[in-house]
Chain A
Amino acid sequence: MNMKRVYYEDVRFFTSGVVFFWFVALLLFLAAFPFLFKNYYVYVANYIAINVIVAIGLNILVGYTGQISLGHAGFFAIGAYGTLVLMTKAHLPFLVALPLSALVAALFGFLLGLPALRLEGPYLAIATLGFGMTVTQVIGRVGFFGGRQGLHAPELSIGPWNLSTDRDFYYLLITITILLTLAARNIIKTRVGRSFIAIRDADIAAETMGVNLVFYKTLSFALSAFYTGVAGGLYAFVLRYIEPEIFTLLRSIMFLSMVVVGGLGSIMGSVAGACLLSWMDLQLRNILNIPYLGEWLKTLSQSFFSITGVSNIQFILYGLIMILIMLFEPLGIFGIWIRTKKYWKMWPF
């Protein structure tokens, strides 16, 4: 049934007609999305797409290669600032500036990967965390990058098209997201991806089998940083304004929680986790506007808590989700999906 007999079956993209059908349906839905929903939801979709790219990139590092990173906000910042600086100061077109700054992020990823060769666990966590904080602090204090005031994104036009509204930008963003998702899925199926997984499962064993640890670990860091850099560059145009405050440790933690909630070591899981958490993030920012629940929270806050701090409920919910997922379903949403699929497979028998 599910047995793979030849290599081709393993790497094939559409494993069945059903998958092909849903893929086409998804593409059609994404193409029609801006016409079906109002402007705000297009912005939400853009925000989600950015996080999807980061989550996939981070999953390559955390889920597939087994390295921890608490510093991805740094790569995100490098991507965002790199793109804007290359566009405003060097007057490069967007389609050149974006990959260039992502490559710069990848270079930093490679450099961070070098000490990471010898580090693991808490040591790696503090090293990456330090990297992320350093990047944000340095960028926030150098006048060339706008300092505390931040940078404004210039008008974006590619060839004859002027992508000034969320709706126009949506198509560019979704195209890049889909391409990067497919690319990640294919990378994992190749020799490179199998080396990553071997390193995750047992790095010394992988080395004895002929996997070049230095090459593949740094490659994993660089690849992950590349994805995050691309996302950062695009995010600058979703917000149209960037400042160092955006790229804090909290954002790195949020990226990590997306990957964990979605499911370590699964591309589709990352997509799901990013969708869920970024949607929650946007919704919970104005939690008092949610019908019924908002009213109740308001009275509760007024009598027992402070009304000014009510938006912090989102941290509580975030933390709860992270803990519950880790305790009861370590594979995240992907694990829940696998279990449901198994349960219904033989239905109704």
Chain B
Amino acid sequence: MLNFLQMIVNGMAAGSTYALMGLAMVIIYKTTEVPNFTQGEMALLSSYLTYMFLDQYGVPYHVVFPAALVFAFVLGCVLEFVVLRRAKEPNILGMIVITIGLEMILMGFVSWKFGADQKTMPFPITPYDSVVIGKVFISTLELLTMGMVLLLMTGLFVFLRYSKLGIAMKATQQNDVAARLMGIRTDRIRMATWGISSTVGCTAGLLISSIVMQPYMMWDPLLKGFAAAVMGGMTSLPGAVFGAYMLGIIENLFGGYISIEFKSVVAFAIIVLVLCVKPSGLFARHYVKKV
């Protein structure tokens, strides 16, 4: 029983990083209907620059971390402005290809600049500290990540539902032309969306980089986060978080009870199964395009 609880907690810890990436992807998909494969690498670039300033220039934490979030915001805006906005007659395949291209550029740049070897991020909380709740161990870093997920999810949910900008985002997604007629600057809204999403991604990147730091570190969280977001319906923030925790927990239980070898496969098998039953994910209405 104790073992079981520990596995659930570990699964939730793993799910939290997926949840952060999933949240970031959902924000962009909600507004622009682009599945953003660049997400991971935007976070990667921000994390590596943070590492550079912390490690090589010795800038203190309380300056670097907020600066990293601001940088991530600007990076998202710039990418949208320079690349995504220039796409002519975008269709979904074209957008996927563009974001994959961007992803390769950023990843190539980071690996070129910093080399492919493992780095250690000087992070204020070491991943080895842990607290004991009941008899279940959980590291402080994992607790921080979980708290971050809940905070960001509620924050974003409230922001998207009640703030003016959030409603403008929804309008942009539902009908671009009508939104523009109502006086919404849709281009600027999209830019802001990319910025916000990149900031959320950057939070995930910083938290992950304290455990593992090398140029491929964001691939797994990105793909799992994407899978979680798809499972939750791609447009629903709580759906993405729920999907991410589900994936994390199932993965860990599968690893603990059935086979540790095929642990990372089971996530994708579940996704395919879920999509067979509910083709638009668990929390979204299935929408059939008219001719």
Contacts and interface: CB of A to CB of B under 8 A. Distances in A.
Interface of A: 62, 66, 68, 114-115, 118-123, 125-127, 129-131, 133-134, 137-138, 141, 202, 204-205, 249, 253, 256-257, 260, 264, 301, 304-306, 308-310, 312-323, 326-327, 330
Given A137-B262, A309-B112, A326-B87, A123 B279 contact: yes
A200 to B, nearest CB: 10
Contacts of B176: none
B20 interface: no
Given A130-B272, A133-B223, A123 B281 contact: yes
Given A119-B275, A322-B98, A327-B98, A137 B264 contact: yes
Interface stretch (B134-142, B180-188, B226-234): B226-234
Contacts of B148: none
Interface string B43-61: 0000000000000000000
A309 B116 contact: yes
A34 B226 CA distance: 46
7 contacts: A115-B279, A125-B96, A129-B268, A253-B100, A257-B100, A316-B105, A321-B101
B230 A256 contact: no
A260 B105 contact: no
Contact of A326 (B92, B97, B230, B291): B97
Contact of B105 (A127, A130, A253, A315): A315
A312 B101 contact: no
A141 B223 contact: no
B66 interface: no
Interface residues of B, number: 55
Contacts of B116: 308-309, 312
Contacts of A127: 271-272, 275
Contacts of B279: 115, 118-119, 123
B105 A320 contact: yes
Interface string B139-155: 00000000000000000
B112 A126 contact: no
Contact of B94 (A120, A202, A314, A326): A326
A187 B128 CA distance: 60
Given A133-B265, A316-B105, 4 more contacts: A115-B272, A316-B104, A326-B97, A330-B88
Interface string B260-291: 01101101110110011001110000000111
Given A123-B234, A312-B112, A327-B88, A133 B261 contact: no
Contacts of B94: 326, 330
Contact of A312 (B29, B97, B111, B226): B111
Contacts of A327: 83, 86-88, 98
Contacts of A134: 265, 268-269
Interface in B96-140: 96-98, 100-109, 111-117
A306 B113 contact: yes
Nearest to B86: A327
Contacts of A114: 276
A319 B275 contact: no
A317 B92 CA distance: 23
Going nearest first, the 7 A-B pairs with the smallest beta carbon separation are A130-B268, A315-B108, A322-B101, A319-B104, A319-B105, A122-B35, A306-B115
B34 to A, nearest CB: 9
A332 B121 CA distance: 42
B2 interface: no
A330 B275 CA distance: 30
A268 B112 CA distance: 34
A164 B242 CA distance: 55
Nearest to B36: A122
A123 B280 contact: yes
A126 B36 CA distance: 12
Interface in B212-236: 215, 219, 223, 226-227, 230, 234
Contacts of B265: 133-134, 137-138
A141 B262 contact: yes
Contact of B107 (A123, A257, A312): A312
